[in-house]
Structures are given as C-alpha cells and as structure tokens.
Amino acid sequence: MQNPVKTSTHYDFGALRAAMRRYVDADILPGVSHALLAGRDLIEQHCTGWADKERGIELRSDHIFRAFSNTKLVTTCAALQLYEQGRFGLDDPIERYIAQLGNRRVLKPGAKSIDATEAARSPITIRQLMSHSAGLAYGLLDPGTLLFQAYNERKVLHPGTTLAQMMDVLAGLPLAYHPGTGWEYSVATDVLSRLVEVLSGERFDAYIQAHILGPLGMTDTGFVVPEDQRERFTAYYAGADIENPMQPGLTRADDAPWPQAYLRPVPRLSGGGGLVTTLPDMIALLRSLLPGGPTLLKPETIALMMSNQLPAGQYIQFPRLGEIAGKTFGLGGALTLAPSSLEPAGAAGEFQWGGIAGTHWWISPRANLAGLLMTQRQMAFWHPYSFEFRQLAYRAAGRA
C-alpha cells in the first residue's frame, strides 16, 4: 500500500467531514473514505465510520474495497496504452480482433421475442465500446426487458467463465440498438479487457499488473484479496430500500455478488467490475492522469479520454431515470457538459465514474481538482452522499 504525502494547506474541510459522518450516524452508509487532489497535491484525506459495523472495526485508509465499476478506469487505461502503441485504431471494428463479435444482429423496435432482429447497419467499433454506445447491454439495471432476461439466462456475467467464453456467449445475443445510435451502460468494458488479452498475448490480470498496477505502486489492487490481508477487506451492506437511498438501515450482504466473491480466484477477470482496491491505490491512479508529473498515458490521449465521444445532443441515460441532460461520455467515464442543480457550478468539463457500491472518482481539468469517495453499500452510485461530497469539496477548495 502506498502512503501518499498529504500537502499542508489552509483549506477547511470540517463541513465535508461532518457531512460524511452524518450519513454514517444515520445508518445510511457504513463508512466513508475520501481524498482530494489540487493538481497533484493531496490536500485532504479522511476516513469516517466502519469497515465492519458488527465487529466494531473502524475504517482506515488501508482498508480494501470492492471497486466494481471503478475497475473500468483501469481497463480503459490498459486498452489506451495499446492504442498508443498503434496496436489498434479507435474506429477499428472489434471483429478485426474478436471475430465472434462480427455480423451483429439488432433487436427490432418493439420486439416481443429475443429472435426478432435485423442486421446491424454497421460493425461495433472500439471507440463505441469505450463510450458504451456499441449496442451492448448489461443484464443488471433493466429487469423485465428481453435483453435483461437473455443476459441472465445465458449467464453473460457468470464468474465461472473466462473472458474468451464471454465473447462466445455475446456472439449469440442481439444488440439493443444499432452501433453508434444510442447509449446504454453495458458489458463493453469486459470486451475491452478481452481485447487487451488478444493484443498483448497476456491474461488481463498479468497485463495490468505489469503495465499499470506495478508501475504505479498499486500494491493492494487485484482480482482477489490475499488470504493474509482479509482482515483489511471491508464488509458489504445493502440499504433498507432500493428505491429510497436515504432510508436508514443497513443489512450485511456478505454473499453478494456471489459467495466468497473476491476471496478466491475465479476464471472471469472482469475488466468491467472485478477489482478490489484501496484509497491510496486509487489516488496513485488518478495522479497518473493529472498534469504536473509523469503520466500513465500521453497528454493528448488523456485529453481524448476526457472529451465527448457521443453525437451532438445525445446524453447518457439509465432505466427509471431516463436521459440525464448535460451528461455525455468520453472514453471510460462520463463527461459533464452542463452541471445539474445537484452539482457544483464549477464542475463543467468534469470527467467521472464510479462503482455500484459507492466507489467514485472524478477529475475536473478546469478546476484543477480531483476527488475520490469510497463506501461499500449496494446501489450507492450517484447516491445523494456523493453529490453532497462534491458540492462541499469544490466549496472548501475554493472552486465552487
């Protein structure tokens, strides 16, 4: 584990810390770790609450979290390293490298059967995979739909299968829409992790260890918590009401997303959600994408990551939430074109994403500010606590 040096500052983060403690005291979150960077300087790092409520273990900076979709940032960076080497072009069709994903079929509008399809108008490109505009789905957030049922019946996300086997399953499933014509959060980043394997000739875990985790000193990030480090692995909780994120009450969910998850190796090296990590390791990753020192990727590649990759006027959307105006997508993260009423006015141009259990990161090039926020509560992505944190963080850092 790294021990990042905290820069002495005149900032006052008392209100921010008190707000995070309020969520813990209200039994809405078990515990929260957070960090803020002004440029590359660490200006705030703090933990509050519990790593394990029942055992009375207070949260520390060295505790290990389920990254879930925070994993996507690592995977996107891995793929972009190969892009910088000229191994592929962003607009290359993925079938050039993963043949199973060619000759796509697309669900017809209003389809009543998974077999009601038409030929895709164009192939899936790697740019579309990185921006979740390829037409793939997830089988997580839209119960009752044809693709949700099909993805679960065919076990697209099953941890007992390899990335190569996942491609075989995806080959037999239609797309939700024609590539490049919509946006849907999806398994696209798992496809990218398979692309890394194909192009590098290495297993995905070996590649990221050699080219990202090792060079950045991310010693606690991986697909399995080592047995001698399990005491540092945070407990996992479900909220009281999935429809009301502010309803007090937490229930342990030790067997989610499956029994012994992250405690024993599984064949699936999920680039979309398979890593565990720590706050210091994520600080190291964010620092590597910020100017003012050596960067993991070339500056022009980082600028490309943080630029809109969707057609003009197209925004991201989620089931039950609809379109989120002002939010588009770059390569591996959402991009804020126009901040909402929940966000700081200074957040325009912010690049961000997070995991379903509440591990968030964001980078604001205009404000020269980056943040990390980590908890372990189901359905805590874009939870009210994360919006309040960003408001208070920008304010304390003088960027509101």
**Burial class (CB within 10 angstroms; exposed 0-12, middle 13-18, buried 19+) of 252:** middle
Residue 344 has pLDDT above 50, yes or no: yes
The one-letter amino acid code at 213 reads L
Q: Which segment of 196-200, 297-301, 345-349 scores lowest on mean pLDDT?
A: 345-349
Specify the pLDDT at position 243. 87
Q: Which segment of 9-13, 120-124, 281-285 scores lowest on mean pLDDT?
A: 9-13
Specify the pLDDT at position 64. 98
Q: pLDDT confidence of 1, banded at 50, 70, 90?
A: very low
CA distance linking residue 190 with residue 196, whole number of Å: 10
CA distance linking residue 67 with residue 271, whole number of Å: 11
CA distance linking residue 111 with residue 177, whole number of Å: 12
Q: Are strands 322-323 and 317-318 parallel, antiparallel or unpaired?
A: antiparallel
Residue 6 has pLDDT above 70, yes or no: no
- Contact status, residue 79 vs residue 196, Cβ threshold 8 Å: yes
Q: pLDDT confidence of 4, banded at 50, 70, 90?
A: low
- DSSP character for 99? G
pTM of the complete model: 0.97
The answer for 98, left when phi > 0, alpha when psi is -120 to 50, beta otherwise, is beta
Specify the pLDDT at position 399. 85
Q: How far, CA to CA in Å, does 233 sit from each of 70, 167, 183, 322, 343?
A: 17, 31, 34, 35, 31
Question: 202 or 4: whose pLDDT is higher?
Answer: 202
Task: For the chain, list the domains and their CATH numbers.
Answer: 14-71+219-396 (3.40.710.10), 76-204 (3.40.710.10)
Q: Are strands 117-119 and 105-107 parallel, antiparallel or unpaired?
A: antiparallel
Question: Can you tell me the mean pLDDT for 348-372?
Answer: 97
Question: Can you tell me the mean pLDDT for 180-193?
Answer: 98
Residue 2 has pLDDT above 60, yes or no: no
Closest CA to 173 of 193, 156, 189, 160: 156
Specify the pLDDT at position 39. 96
Closest CA to 43 of 345, 290, 335: 290
Specify the pLDDT at position 319. 87
